[in-house]
Chain A
């Protein structure tokens, strides 16, 4: 596929100019004010630090721990959230009863739970996994409930006419009709869950990316802090892209 020149220009060249401007501004600021590397290391120093980090075992252990906590919590949160959301979407009376509870818990943002999870579960994985599950759960419950309740009524009537019982109707018709909405909610939930892991690791953890950058900040190795932030961003974007690709692949029947 050959792209026209102006698309290449707009998609690749101009953003590169932008990146160049930012890096130039970064380098210029620190040479102009003679900032010590503790305050702001040069872009080059960050790049070499990252290259060194990638070669250490401890770094990959931190990434692995954070990802493990995220993936476990995410799966639990999505399954339970879609399950409860489906129940709330299908069963009107249950929805009326559960809405105030869900809505009030939704405003207890996951970050506010961090101290309590530390009290209950210490610095173990369990607390973080539950925290991610909590964060993801509420995103999925709210969007599943809405998506299932808004499914085209004709579809339900067709299903009933074809002799489906309510369970089959919910599972095979409503959930599938709601799938595109759920896929985008799942991506949004992934971003929130990933950040919840990092935040939880700031406050109480024995390993993980969040711990890595707070430790680096305490020992004033700022290049590791910035390198770690870049890794957090890359992993977050990667997770989101992976979930996007997965949902596109599984929604292919449309």
Chain B
């Protein structure tokens, strides 16, 4: 009789908390993936053809350490500098314009279709034009990142300014608030919380735009380094730079998700489903 009971109690699932089980499986999965990568790089090392230049994980890590000791901080700061300016400018202008177009009904009817028409032309398609207009310097990249962030955040800003619940507005009127007070204490907070979420969603598209802009312009930042090592056929260094991009994107996303959870705890659950 006790056998089934015992078996259940002794299975690792039952003895360990679910978090630990998930963690163990995750580590195992990552180890398998790294092992497969290593084996693949060994197999391809002596083969012919195009893919014979696949370095193993160790070579990439070695390259990463070497890069970290030299120019990584400098390049990363250059990229982050572009990103931060563009992101702030884009999010701020989107918040402002979204608020105006969302609240002023007629203006919205006139100009929102234009914003909608611009959205399929992603910021990436603007890269050549931006280089014609602003050259290879900081301005053109800031413009591109700003545009990328703007096109994402404006949707959230318009949405947020319109989605203020009607009974909340009516309650505010009943409590004797005038138009400005209603705007300041009801509409504005609602819009800004949406803008904050939009700014987090825009992080990745802004960061992706930084990558493309730097790859095309190739004058400074991580993207320029990536093109440089590509042109010297240094595959391990290319992969190391890709990891730098990924880690930075991940860190920004994690920091923002954390901040959002602290600032807007009530939005967190819904956002997870939206995403």
Residues of A within 8 A of B (CB): 10, 14-15, 17-19, 21-22, 38-39, 93, 96-101, 104, 107-116, 118-122, 191, 195, 198-199, 202-203, 213-214, 216-217, 220, 222, 225-226, 228-230, 232-234, 236-237, 240
Contact = CB atoms under 8 A, between A and B. Distances in A.
A120 B207 CA distance: 24
7 A-B pairs with the lowest CB-CB distances in the bound complex, closest first = A97-B29, A96-B25, A217-B128, A233-B121, A115-B230, A15-B113, A18-B110
Contacts of A217: 128-129, 131-132
B215 A15 contact: no
Contacts of B114: 15, 18-19, 22
Given A39-B132, A213-B129, A229-B129, 13 more contacts: A10-B109, A96-B29, A97-B32, A100-B26, A101-B33, A109-B208, A119-B233, A119-B235, A122-B50, A195-B124, A199-B124, A216-B128, A233-B121
Contact of B120 (A99, A100, A191): A191
Interface of B: 21-22, 25-30, 32-33, 50-51, 53, 106, 109-111, 113-114, 117-118, 120-122, 124-129, 131-133, 204, 207-208, 211-212, 215-216, 226-227, 229-230, 233, 235, 238-239, 241-243, 245-247, 249-250, 253
Q: Is the interface of B mostly helix, strand, loop or mixed?
A: helix
Nearest to B32: A97
B106 A111 contact: no
A113 B242 contact: yes
Contacts, number: 155
A112 B114 CA distance: 31
Given A18-B110, A115-B227, A236-B120, A101 B242 contact: no
Contact of A116 (B110, B121, B132, B230): B230
